[in-house]
């Protein structure tokens, strides 16, 4: 998220993260600096054998009828050891902060990471920031230590502090315990199912001002139909639909969110903000990897 907002949308961004003092950590820190992201690290010493480690991610783009696969190695991950009190939020926010973001994957890593998100969000709100959260419910992560009940408890407490929520129908049902629709949509690009759940979400979490997600119909690994929708302060917005030929689909959801956030931060019309997110998410599928290579001009032209 920070990389895309810095690289494509030319905003000043920062990350609060664990960092391990070993070669893989050095490589990651160098890439963060190269992207122009300000870092606030809680450092860990590696024991030379088994960690703690920086998480590593392996991606197979797939081809034709062979689906893409993303595999994570989070063994003894330093980030899972972070806890409330590890960051001086007053110092981090001392030069001003406009937006604070986190997500459900990080919340699922351990019993302390969700508490750290809540701490950061509360301090960000005190500093005047908009807060956002991507639900990203991942059963494999939650099942390691808490299961679905713990996921709904922790993410519910997080979302109580959230202004902008990103997540699809399944995320809302499994991550927040919001009842799903009685009738499923005939098309994955039909927004009616998503919009049908918004009232229940907002009733349960009245602080929320924006709820957004992407829509996708997967035909094979390469041809996808692509769209995006958002509920913004009581009004609904739907992007155009696009037929994409996918080069690499990893990260398109985050790229949608970063474009949407940019539009909202930049004071764009809500429909234009949704279209910017949709366009950025579409363009990222034409590049390898999960960080953007698109330019702001390309995004605006496609939107």
- Please state the CATH superfamily assignment of the domain spanning residues 2-10+97-302 in this structure: Ribokinase (3.40.1190.20)
Low-confidence ranges of the chain (pLDDT < 50): none
CA 221 – CA 219 distance, rounded (Å): 7
Reference 200, options 231, 178, 181, 173; nearest CA is: 178
58-108 pLDDT per residue, tens: 989 899 889 889 888 999 999 999 999 999 999 999 999 999 999 999 999
Domain boundaries, the chain: 2-10+97-302
In this predicted structure, what is the pLDDT of residue 285?
93
* Secondary structure of residue 232 in the 3-state scheme: strand
In this predicted structure, what is the pLDDT of residue 67?
87
pTM above 0.85?
yes
Residues of the chain by 3-state class (helix, strand, coil), percent to 5: 40, 25, 35
146-180 pLDDT per residue, tens: 999 999 999 999 999 999 999 999 999 999 999 98
């Amino acid at each position: 998220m920070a990389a895309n907002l810095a690289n494509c949308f030319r905003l000043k961004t920062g990350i609060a993260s664990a960092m391990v003092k070993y070669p893989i950590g050095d490589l990651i820190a160098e890439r963060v600096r190269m992207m122009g992201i300000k870092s606030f690290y809680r450092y860990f010493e590696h024991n030379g054998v088994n960690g703690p480690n920086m998480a590593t991610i392996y991606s197979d783009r797939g081809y034709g009828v062979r689906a893409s696969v993303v595999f994570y190695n989070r063994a003894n991950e330093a980030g899972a050891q972070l806890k409330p009190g590890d960051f001086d939020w007053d110092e981090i926010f001392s030069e001003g902060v406009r937006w604070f973001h986190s997500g459900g994957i990080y919340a699922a890593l351990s019993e302390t990471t969700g508490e750290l998100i809540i701490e950061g969000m509360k301090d960000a709100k005190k500093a005047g920031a908009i807060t956002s959260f991507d639900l990203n419910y991942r059963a494999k992560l939650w099942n390691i230590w808490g299961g679905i009940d713990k996921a709904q408890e922790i993410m519910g407490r997080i979302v109580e502090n959230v202004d902008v929520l990103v997540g699809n129908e399944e995320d809302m049902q499994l991550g927040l315990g919001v009842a799903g629709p009685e009738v499923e949509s005939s098309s994955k690009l039909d927004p009616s199912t998503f919009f049908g759940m918004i009232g229940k979400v907002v009733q349960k979490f009245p602080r929320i001002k924006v709820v957004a997600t992407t829509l996708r119909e997967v035909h094979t690994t390469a041809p996808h139909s692509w769209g995006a929708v958002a509920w913004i302060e009581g009004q609904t917005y739907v992007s155009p639909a696009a037929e994409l030929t996918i080069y690499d689909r990893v990260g398109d959801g985050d790229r949608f969110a970063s474009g949407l956030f940019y539009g909202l931060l930049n004071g764009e019309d809500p429909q234009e903000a949704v279209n910017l997110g949709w366009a950025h998410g579409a363009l990222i599928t034409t590049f390898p990897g999960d960080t953007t290579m698109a330019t702001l001009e390309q995004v605006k032209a496609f939107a």
